[in-house]
């Protein structure tokens, strides 16, 4: 789940963009059938890297590209910022592509691979000695389709509970560790003024579907069948998570009043962000906030704690999303692009890139690297990836439609139009017909 592309700080927005864009992918006409010479005047094979990042993120990426070009004499990478995903997909679906490597999102991989627009990477991974065992297991789970690897993670994103230290202290609340404590904290931290209008919300949600799916894992649920990847929206833990939110936020304070209050929030991650301005006391969000809050609210006192859980055995439960690199099936320079991909997901590429963007490295061997030490409240996110209860939504075909339908089901509960059980049971009936 990655968002405004690409400040993975806006990872949630990108998940939505990715989901809708994936729906327009068509089957690739044919792959190139081989490596063309493509040598530039300096004798290097020229590789085009069309990426979705823009602004400061693109500048950080260009520095890594320059480092790669200077590190060897065989490949010359040209970076092109192209945030229009539909144009990317149109190129990937043609007989001859306009670029050789690009970036995307983990929840796309299975859908795109099934349409033939991604190149299998396993032989290149072997040839370039990429140690996939070092990647966070949940991230690698999204990279495969029919036991073949079609992408590699350049960065990952996890979700924890962020809290405003002053608001919690004023209310006599300590950071919650259990669902009972979270329910109590929401009640104490939500303020209602004259006329019953909310003036402070105990638990906000920059991206409600992401918050609910994360809570689902903390209740012991799973949104996909582990063996098949098929949707399982009505598993008991999932229903309990959505019902928890409904009872402690929507029903407790009124759907209309909650949504009216949320509708008046300032832009996410701006100086008017509701968490940064004290309108929201707690929220479920990702590691990119370490960089964004330091930039837009440098004096704010805030903290990060693990997602509260329904049972102690579930401690450390969280959701992971991935930012990926892939090679289109119609790339004209696959082997050369694979060498650059291997550099990007190695130490020399991944460390400076993720540090510049304030994202988490996808490799477990990098989680304790001191390069991240100056990022405020970043360590809890790094440590979260060491848990064996890190989950990721399946990237199996149909995942994009599932994400859209799940968001609609959650919204119906958020608006007070359906119970959690009704919404997710109806969704289970709908997802059972996917592919028919």
The answer to whether residues 53 and 94 belong to one domain is yes
Residues 314 and 330 in one domain: no
For the chain, percent of residues with pLDDT exceeding 70: 90
Quick one: 328 and 340 in the same domain?
yes
Please indicate, yes or no, whether residues 136 and 164 belong to a single structural domain of this protein: no
Do 267 and 152 reside in the same domain of the chain?
A: no
Q: Is the dihedral of CA 291, 138, 405, 214 positive or negative?
A: negative
Nearest to 324 by CA among 106, 10, 139: 106
169 and 293 inside one domain:
yes
Whether 105 is in a domain gets the answer yes
- Separation of alpha carbons 158 and 161, rounded Å: 10
- Residue 79 covered by a domain: yes
Same-domain pairing of 190 and 239:
yes
Residue 436 lies in a domain: no
- Which tens digit of pLDDT belongs to each residue from 369-394? 999 999 999 999 999 999 999 999 99
- 189 and 56 inside one domain: no
Let me know if residue 185 belongs to a domain. yes
Tell me the average pLDDT of the chain: 91
Domain-located, residue 21: yes
Angle at 13 between CA 8 and CA 15, to 5 degrees: 85
Find out whether the peptide bond into 6 is cis, omega within 30 degrees of 0. Answer: yes
Residue 305: per-residue pLDDT: 98
Read off the pLDDT of each residue in 341-364 and give the average, rounded to a whole number.
97
Global pTM reads: 0.90
The pLDDT tens digits for 216-243 are 999 999 999 998 999 999 999 999 999 9
- pLDDT at residue number 41: 61
153 shares its domain with 111: yes
**Residue 37: its pLDDT value, please?**
47
Whether residue 364 is found in the same domain as residue 380:
yes
Q: Is residue 339 part of a domain?
A: yes
Does 333 lie in the same domain as 310? no
Q: Give the residue numbers spanning the domain of 60.
A: 8-157+320-391
The torsion of the CA quartet 150, 154, 160, 162, rounded to 10 degrees, works out to -140
3 domain-assigned: no
Tell whether the model's pLDDT for residue 3 goes beyond 60: no
Distance CA 3, CA 357 (A): 13
Q: Based on the domain organization, do 145 and 259 belong to the same domain?
A: no
Average pLDDT over residues 32-42: 53
In a domain, 2, yes or no: no
Number of structural domains in the chain:
2
> Tokens 């098929």 map to which residue?
230
We report the CATH number of the domain holding residue 53 as: 3.40.190.10
Model confidence pLDDT, tens digit, residues 272-283: 999 999 999 999
């Amino acid at each position: 789940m990655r968002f405004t592309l690409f400040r993975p700080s806006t990872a949630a927005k990108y998940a939505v963009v990715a989901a809708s864009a994936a729906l327009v992918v068509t089957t690739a006409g044919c792959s190139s059938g081989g490596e063309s010479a493509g040598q530039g005047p300096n004798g290097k094979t020229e590789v085009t890297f069309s990426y979705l990042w823009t602004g400061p993120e693109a500048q950080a990426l260009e520095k890594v590209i320059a480092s790669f070009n200077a590190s060897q004499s065989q490949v010359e990478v040209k970076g092109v910022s192209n945030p229009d995903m539909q144009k990317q997909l149109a190129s990937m679906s043609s007989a001859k592509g306009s670029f050789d490597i690009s970036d995307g999102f983990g929840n796309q991989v299975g859908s795109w691979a099934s349409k033939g627009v991604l190149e299998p990477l396993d032989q290149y991974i072997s040839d370039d000695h990429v140690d996939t065992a070092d990647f966070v297991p949940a991230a690698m789970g999204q990279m495969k389709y029919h036991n073949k690897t079609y992408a590699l993670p350049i960065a990952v994103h996890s979700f924890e509970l962020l809290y405003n230290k002053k608001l919690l202290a004023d209310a006599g609340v300590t950071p919650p560790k259990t669902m009972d404590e979270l329910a109590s904290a929401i009640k104490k931290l939500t303020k209602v003024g004259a006329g019953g209008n909310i003036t402070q919300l105990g638990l906000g949600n920059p991206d409600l579907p992401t918050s609910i799916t994360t809570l689902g894992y903390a209740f012991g649920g799973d949104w996909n069948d582990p063996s098949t990847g098929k949707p399982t929206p009505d598993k008991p833990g999932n229903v309990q998570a959505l019902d928890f939110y409904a009872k402690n936020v929507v029903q407790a304070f009124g759907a209309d009043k909650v949504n009216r209050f949320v509708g008046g929030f300032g832009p996410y991650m701006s100086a008017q962000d509701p968490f940064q301005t004290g309108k929201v006391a707690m929220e479920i969000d990702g590691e990119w906030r370490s960089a964004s809050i330091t930039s837009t609210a440098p004096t704010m006192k805030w903290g990060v704690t693990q997602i509260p859980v329904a049972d102690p055995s579930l401690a450390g439960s969280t959701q992971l999303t991935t930012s990926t690199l892939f090679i289109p099936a119609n790339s004209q320079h696959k082997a050369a692009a694979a060498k650059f991909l291997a550099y990007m997901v190695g130490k020399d590429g991944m460390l400076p890139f993720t540090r510049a963007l304030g994202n988490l490295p996808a490799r477990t061997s990098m989680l304790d690297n001191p390069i991240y030490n100056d990022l405020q409240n970043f360590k809890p996110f790094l440590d979260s990836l060491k848990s064996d209860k890190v989950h990721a939504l399946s990237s199996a075909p149909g995942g994009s439609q599932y994400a859209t339908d799940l968001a609609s089901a959650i919204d119906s509960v958020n608006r007070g139009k359906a119970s959690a059980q009704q919404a997710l049971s109806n969704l289970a009936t709908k997802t059972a017909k996917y592919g028919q």
